[in-house]
Amino acid sequence: MNLAATLRAVTDREPSKARSPADITMGGGPKVPYPKHVWSPAGGWYAQPSNWKANTAVFGLAMFGITALVWKLSADREFRHKMPEPGRFYPSRYWSKQIIEHERAQKEKGLLEKSE
């Protein structure tokens, strides 16, 4: 039953028994009894461990570290057959060794040509 149907059902009652929309509670009711002997890796029913913030921080740092390592490995192995155009936005020019060395060589070549 959606909210509109619930409101209609509540407002169709006698005026003395009608409730305001603020009186309607949602969420499926109280917690149900559950077997305490069942183990779940996700924590089971109504899990809210006391150290969830620390667990989240540790997992976040681990994910950040793994992402950084994969990023570094990918940047080291990146190879371009065609270099990006000068002045054009190209994100990997900031971390790709090949592009950085190519642009450094182009800059030195340009400075040498200007000095002649």
**Domain boundaries along the sequence of the chain:** 51-81+89-115
Spell out the residues 6+ positions from residue 83 whose beta carbon is closer than 8 angstroms to its own.
99, 102, 103
Answer with the residue of higher pLDDT: 18 or 6.
6
Q: What is the pTM assigned to this prediction?
A: 0.53
pLDDT of residue 85: 84
pLDDT digits (tens, 9 = 90+) for 98-111: 888 888 898 888 86
Query: Mean pLDDT over residues 33-57, rounded?
Result: 79
DSSP 8-state symbol, 15: T
How much is the pLDDT for 31? 75
Asked if 93 and 103 touch (Cβ cutoff 8 Å), the reply is yes
pLDDT reported for residue 67: 98
pLDDT of residue 20: 63
Residue 49, pLDDT score: 77
